[in-house]
Chain A
Amino acid sequence: MNEHATPELPPAAPEPGPLRLSLSTAAVMAVFTLVFTGLMAGTYQATHTRIEASAEAEKLRLINEVLPPARYDNALLRDVVRLDAAPELGLPKGASVWRARRAGEPVALVMEAVAPDGYAGSIRLVLAVLHDGSLGGVRVVEHKETPGLGDYIDPLKDKVRDHPWIAQFTGLSPARVALARWAVRKDGGDIAYRAGATISARAVTQAVARAARFAQAERDRLYQ
């Protein structure tokens, strides 16, 4: 590689012995490590409260998309129950379910769910199941589906801006559409999908159906 300055050789001082050289370089390395660890620790101390606050705001913003804040009046993020392993949600031990209440009455369960069988790995979802079992809404939090093909499950990537694919889950109720029919049309259900990328839609739909069944079966326990 061609550079402006020629490489400088180490200073031509009398060569120190190998022991002295290794001790002195080790000391310098230790000092550098200490100083920069100190700087990082200081930055962490100065920032971590703000970072936690913005992570919480971020989470709340996502939850607001599946459950309008006007529907409940409790401090949602504080009213949380940690589950034991929940295979129905595809989540390991410690998964969170937030309980939305209005005047103390249960309104909705907001939960995370994972579809393990996307076209390219897992798809993470957040969804709200209202007290009557119907869905407040579903949003994709994280996915690696093919850009331009399977990524329509994320409303930000969906080309149909007015009626994004994921919106058909909003208000979906087991009273009107039996839970058995919460599947893509190709599998004999009622959920539409876009041609060319069934797998992404199927993975999301199945994960939503599992979560809805779980919420229905465990409802009373989860609200306690």
Chain B
Amino acid sequence: MHYNYRDIFWNGFWRQNTGLAQLLGMCPILAVSTSFVNGVSLALATTLVMAMSNAAVAALRNLIPYEIRIPVFILIIAALVTMLDLAMNAWLHELYTVLGIFVPLIVTNCIVLARVEAYAAKNPPLPSAVDGAAMGVGLMLVLAILGGAREIIGSGTLFAGIEMLIPGARAIQVLPQDYPGFLFAILPPGAFIALACLIAAKNWYEARQKAATTLSGPGCAPASHGH
């Protein structure tokens, strides 16, 4: 069977975007997207875990009895995350001090189990790893925009805390120094409202694309991937 990797990537990055279409893993998305750096850090850790767990499950998929696949998947994901957590703590300690708090959080993220069950259990390791990574990158897009917007509106800065990821880099003061801050954007309700705006924007954009392709004839219409 031939795998179209570009299609797999586009599926994870846009069509079935974790944050905007599947709406899975909302808990970390809403809790962590208080700033750009936080959001991107969580997405980085998630991308790594999803690519790893998808590849591992795909490699073992023919050994897992259908009846007990869910407990085995959870076992594999939890073990991998534990090992990643220990390995990062030991050998990538600098990165661990930034991403460390997010890694155990990922086990609770249902998107990991969802992709393992929906994709990796039926496909070979390489396409599965690409699928997991693409889902993670799609999540990064959402978290970067969400975190960036909430940070600018909430505290008037962008990239606060970047020096933990890139030594020497500095946060940017976007709004004037005397900007009083808008706490609402940083508190949980701000996350819901910002996410709703993003989802609305994606749906609006897609509806417009669809209208355009319908007008220009069915010849170039992409295959439908609706729900």
Contact = CB atoms under 8 A, between A and B. Distances in A.
Nearest to A44: B86
A58 B97 CA distance: 9
Interface residues of B, number: 40
Interface in A29-47: 29, 32-33, 36-37, 39-40, 43-44, 46-47
Nearest to B123: A5
B91 A50 contact: yes
Nearest to A156: B161
B207 to A, nearest CB: 18
A58 B93 CA distance: 10
A3 interface: yes
Interface string A126-169: 00000000000000000000111100000010000000000000
A51 B89 contact: yes
- Give the interface residue-count category, chain A: 20 to 34
A43 B89 contact: no
B27 interface: no
Interface of A is mostly: helix
Contacts of A104: none
Contacts of A25: 65, 67-68
Interface of A: 1-5, 7-8, 10, 21, 24-25, 28-29, 32-33, 36-37, 39-40, 43-44, 46-48, 50-51, 54, 58, 146-149, 156
Interface of B: 7-8, 11, 16, 22, 34, 63-68, 71-72, 75-76, 79, 82-83, 86-87, 89-91, 93, 97, 118-119, 122-123, 154-155, 161, 181, 183, 186-187, 225-227
